[in-house]
């Protein structure tokens, strides 16, 4: 976007100066005023570009950080339906499914390969959970990627799993 904004500002300025000069040469009262107005608009657009570049938004290219269609996962399990947490009580647990069982190339998505050890699954899940934990998402719950269970009570985060004793990780229901 920043490159397009910069190019637009240059085009506006050139157009404004051309209108001003052509209007002066032709003796028009309207074109020089329009030219000045367009040139001022170009200066404003240039100012927006300058502010964007000062705060790092302009960048050197317009390539997105995440390609279209690319997903970023923050957990290694999922439930059967979105919002399964809406019908759970704080003490209820729901079965989860490992996402790597649902994908052809789970490793390319940052998931453990099929057949990974419990320790490897938990390590990867814990790393992904730390990303999700950096955001405050009140609807999140907790889960154990080894026992494949989830609970809607986020207060249980980093407490021991009732089955295996590993710390519970953040779980998103959406």
Structure-model confidence comparison of residues 35 and 111, the more confident one: 111
| pLDDT of the residue at 164 | 98
Does the pTM surpass 0.75? The reply is no
Q: How far apart are CA 146 and CA 84, in angstroms?
A: 19
| Amino acid 66: pLDDT | 44
**pLDDT tens-place string over residues 16-47:** 556 556 666 667 666 666 656 555 665 666 66
What does the pLDDT read at residue 24? 65
Do the beta carbons of residue 112 and residue 76 sit within 8 Å? yes
Average pLDDT in the 122-139 region? 91
In percent, the amount of the chain with pLDDT more than 70 equals 60
pLDDT in tens, 85-100: 988 988 999 999 999 9
Comparing 50 with 63, which gets the higher pLDDT?
Answer: 50
Read out DSSP for the chain? -HHHHHHHHHHHHHHHHHHHHHHHHHT-SHHHHHHHHHHHHHHHHHHHHHHHHHTT-S-S----SS-TT----S-SEE-SSTTGGGG--TT--EE-EEGGGS-S-GGGGTPPPTT--HHHHHHHHHHHHHHHHTS--TT-EEEETTTTEEES-GGGTTSBPTTT-PBPEEE---
**pLDDT for 142 beyond 80:** yes
């Amino acid at each position: 976007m920043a490159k397009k904004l910069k190019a637009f500002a240059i085009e506006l300025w050139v157009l404004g100066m051309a209108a001003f000069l052509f209007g002066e040469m032709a003796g028009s009262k309207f074109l020089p005023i329009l030219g000045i107005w367009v040139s001022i608009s170009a200066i404003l657009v240039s100012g927006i570009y300058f502010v964007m570049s000062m705060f790092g938004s302009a960048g050197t290219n317009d390539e997105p950080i995440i390609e279209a269609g690319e997903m970023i996962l923050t957990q290694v399990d999922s439930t059967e339906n979105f919002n399964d947490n809406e019908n759970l009580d704080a003490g209820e647990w729901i079965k989860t499914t490992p996402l790597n069982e649902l994908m052809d190339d789970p490793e390319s998505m940052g998931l453990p390969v099929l057949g990974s050890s419990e320790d490897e699954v938990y390590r990867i899940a814990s790393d992904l959970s730390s990303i999700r934990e950096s955001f405050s998402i009140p609807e999140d719950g907790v889960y154990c990627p080894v026992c494949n269970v989830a609970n809607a009570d986020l207060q249980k985060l980093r407490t021991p799993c009732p089955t295996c004793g590993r710390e519970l990780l953040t779980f998103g229901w959406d």
